[in-house]
């Protein structure tokens, strides 16, 4: 029986919840989250009203980059459980009406992956061209000026081959050569492997890094007036990422995936333009970027991003927090938590809620001696890294937050999260958690919010107002980012669905979602 169009397009307008597996729930007392822990919390996830979960990497890995250095694409790291445990989580989620999306890291692998071990052994082995290798310049220096995202040059010398290999991230993360048709076929077969196990979609890590310039041309300088802590940002990334050669492979991926969702992560300069390009007809279903994971809350920037990334038939995905940036409750101020929950659920596109965002959790302060993030360790104290967003989920107000029975967890539990834990908020009228559940339910119930058009009414640094329309349904969504009253430009007399009810102005840090009479 053929799935209905609605079922095929389940991802369009959906709300996904990012499960950062290593920090979600520990079931065996080793201080790290696992699949059995996710299974234990499945009813909580379903109770949020979300459409699906995105699970971060769980594959065998030496954990130089918290699992984004994959040593086997078709297995489960024992620290997280077994393949049967993964199947149990997938079946339990789908039995509750939740879709399952998993991370896939195709830009690079671990240096311990058997493919790279073989590739590095000689210049004439069967996998010699599976990674990006290049000869040194006559003076022995690397083949070009490319820099690595986590610091230093993007090339590492290999004595066996007497060549350099490319690593856009860590030395332990060599870049796969996706220009090679054999590598492309292996990636497509890996996609099939997980689809055959029942997953509903794949989140494609750093999808714009899949291809590089085969001529290995130097990146031009930005001409920045000041030198940043990380020199990576002194180059225009023209030749080492976001290459046009990427697009035909994305089309091959979409053809193989069919109706199973492909969600790209985009990390580049022209992010919203790249999102639209990557999700054009025949390419990926949707994409998200760091455009709204920025330091400042600005209504004009949000409106411009939504309009640009969703141009034509493209379909964007939006997030305000994830495991790579400071939590939004700290970044955009804790008094705005409910406003931000509502704003995210009113945007046109698919949306992602990061674990703990429904609780209003602030960013954690991880002591230097406990840092795990390679970026943090390299650039301390100028950059505190990503660990503060990755600390254990707050389930109760105990010292370990109900996350683990271990004496020490992989990252320390944040004491400030205890009073905001699930047990403290669940069922409590007026809590951030209950507010989040309510606004998720509103999005699910209103076609204009889930699938409708987006038209900006007013947007600046102090707030944002826009219309969402679908058929006869029209909603006005207005948000006040400031600590003072803000005039309500439209919506007087319309029926309030959620938020402030005054017709003349919005109170400080408030919002209103209103239905215009047909």
Mean pLDDT (whole number) for 452-460: 97
Q: With contact defined as beta carbons under 8 Å apart, do 344 and 338 qualify?
A: no
pLDDT surpasses 70 at 70: yes
Same domain, 490 and 350: no
290 shares a domain with 204:
yes
Do residues 294 and 387 both lie within one domain? yes
pLDDT exceeds cutoff 60 at 84: yes
Structure tokens of 62?
């030496």
Q: Which residues are catalytic?
A: 205, 265
What is the reported pLDDT for 381? Answer: 80
Give how many domains the chain has, as a whole number.
2
**Are residue 486 and residue 507 in the same domain, yes or no?**
yes
Domain-embedded: residue 167: no
Whether residue 153 is contained in a domain is answered as: no
Look at residue 117 and tell me if it is in a domain.
Answer: no
Q: Flag whether 163 is in a domain.
A: no
- Asked whether residue 154 is assigned to any structural domain, the reply reads no
- Residue 122 belongs to some domain of the structure: no
Residues 476 and 418 in one domain: no
Strands 155-158 vs 163-166: parallel, antiparallel or unpaired: antiparallel
Q: Do 484 and 372 sit in the same domain of this protein?
A: no
Q: Check residue 3 and give its pLDDT.
A: 55
Residue 130 lies in a domain: no
Q: Identify the domain boundary among 411, 441, 471.
A: 441
Q: In sequence order, what DSSP letters do the residues of 321-360 get, joined into one string?
A: --TTS--HHHHS-GGGHHHHHHHHHHSSSEEEEETTGGGT
Q: Are residues 468 and 416 in the same domain?
A: no
Domain co-membership, 28 together with 97: yes
Which residue, 389, 412, 441, sits at the end of a domain?
A: 441
The predicted pLDDT at position 383 comes to 72
The CATH number of residue 303's host domain is 3.20.20.80
* pLDDT tens digits along 207-255: 999 999 999 999 999 999 999 989 999 999 999 999 999 999 999 999 9
458 and 373 in a common domain: no
Average confidence (pLDDT) over 317-340: 97
- Domain final residue pick, 413, 441, 469: 441
Look at residue 2 in the predicted model and tell me its pLDDT: 46
Measured between its terminal Cα atoms, the distance across the chain in Å is: 38
Residues contacting residue 96 through CB under 8 Å, at least 6 positions apart:
42, 43, 45, 46
* pLDDT range class, residue 493, cuts 50, 70, 90: confident
322 and 421 fall within a common domain: yes
What's the pLDDT at 9? 93
Which tens digit of pLDDT belongs to each residue from 7-41? 779 999 999 999 999 999 999 999 999 999 999 99
Residue 360 sits in the same domain as residue 504: no
pLDDT band at 380 (very low <50, low <70, confident <90, very high): confident
Please give the average per-residue pLDDT across 348-366, as a whole number.
97
Q: Could you tell me the residue range of the domain that residue 487 belongs to?
A: 452-515
Mean pLDDT, residues 334-352: 98
pTM of the model: 0.97
Residues 470 and 428 both lie in one domain: no
Backbone angles phi, psi at 320, to 5 degrees: -105, -20
For the chain, give the percent of residues with pLDDT over 70: 99
DSSP string, 152-219: SBSEEEETTTTEEEE-SS-TTSPBB-TTSHHHHHHHHHHHHHHHHTT--EEEETTGGGS---TT-PPP
Q: Is the pLDDT of residue 384 over 80?
A: no
164 in any annotated domain: no
**Mean pLDDT across the chain:** 96
Q: Domain containing 469 — which CATH number?
A: 2.60.40.1180
């Amino acid at each position: 029986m053929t799935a209905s169009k609605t079922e095929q397009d389940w991802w369009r307008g959906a709300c996904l919840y990012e499960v950062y597996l290593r920090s979600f729930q520990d079931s065996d007392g080793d201080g790290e989250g696992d699949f059995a822990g996710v299974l234990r919390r499945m009813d909580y996830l379903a109770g949020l009203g979300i459409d699906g979960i995105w699970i971060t990497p769980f594959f065998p890995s030496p954990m130089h980059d918290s699992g984004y250095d994959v040593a086997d694409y078709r297995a489960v790291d024992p620290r997280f459980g077994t393949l049967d445990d993964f199947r149990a989580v997938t079946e339990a989620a789908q039995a509750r009406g939740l879709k399952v999306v998993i991370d896939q890291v195709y830009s690079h692998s671990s240096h311990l992956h058997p493919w790279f071990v073989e590739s590095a052994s000689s210049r004439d082995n069967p996998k010699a061209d599976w990674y990006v290798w290049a000869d040194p310049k006559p003076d022995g220096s690397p083949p070009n000026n490319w820099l690595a995202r986590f610091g230093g040059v993007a090339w590492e010398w290999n004595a066996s081959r007497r060549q350099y290999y490319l690593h856009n991230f860590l030395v332990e993360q060599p870049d796969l050569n996706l220009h090679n048709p054999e590598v492309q076929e292996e990636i497509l077969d890996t996609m099939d492997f997980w689809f055959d196990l029942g997953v509903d979609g794949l989140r494609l890590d750093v999808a714009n890094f899949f291809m590089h310039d085969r001529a290995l041309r130097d990146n031009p300088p930005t001409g920045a007036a000041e030198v940043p802590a990380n020199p990576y940002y002194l180059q225009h990334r023209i030749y080492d990422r976001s290459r046009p050669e990427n697009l035909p492979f994305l089309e091959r991926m979409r053809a193989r995936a069919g109706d199973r969702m492909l969600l790209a992560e985009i990390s580049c300069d022209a992010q919203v333009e790249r999102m639209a390009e990557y999700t054009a007809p025949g390419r990926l279903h949707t994409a998200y970027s760091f455009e709204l994971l920025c330091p400042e809350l600005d209504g004009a920037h949000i409106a411009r991003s939504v309009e640009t990334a969703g141009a034509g038939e493209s379909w964007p995905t939006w997030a305000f927090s994830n495991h790579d940036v400071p939590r939004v409750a700290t970044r955009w101020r804790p008094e705005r938590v409910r406003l931000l929950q509502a704003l995210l659920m009113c945007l046109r596109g698919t949306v992602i809620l990061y674990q703990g965002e429904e609780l209003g959790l602030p960013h954690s302060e991880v002591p230097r001696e406990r840092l795990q993030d390679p970026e943090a360790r390299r650039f301390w104290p100028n950059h505190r890294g990503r660990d503060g967003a990755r600390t254990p989920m707050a389930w109760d107000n105990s010292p370990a937050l109900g996350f683990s029975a271990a004496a020490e967890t992989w990252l320390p539990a944040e004491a400030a999260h205890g009073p905001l834990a699930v047990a403290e908020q669940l069922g409590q009228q007026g809590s951030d958690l209950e507010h989040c559940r309510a606004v998720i339910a509103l999005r699910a119930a209103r076609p204009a919010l889930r699938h409708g058009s987006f038209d900006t009414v007013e947007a600046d640094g102090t707030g944002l107002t826009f219309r969402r329309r679908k058929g006869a349904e029209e909603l006005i969504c207005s948000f006040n980012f400031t600590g003072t009253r803000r005039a309500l430009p439209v919506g007087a007399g319309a029926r309030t669905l959620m938020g402030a009810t005054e017709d003349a102005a919005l109170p400080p840090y408030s919002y209103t979602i209103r239905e215009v009479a047909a």
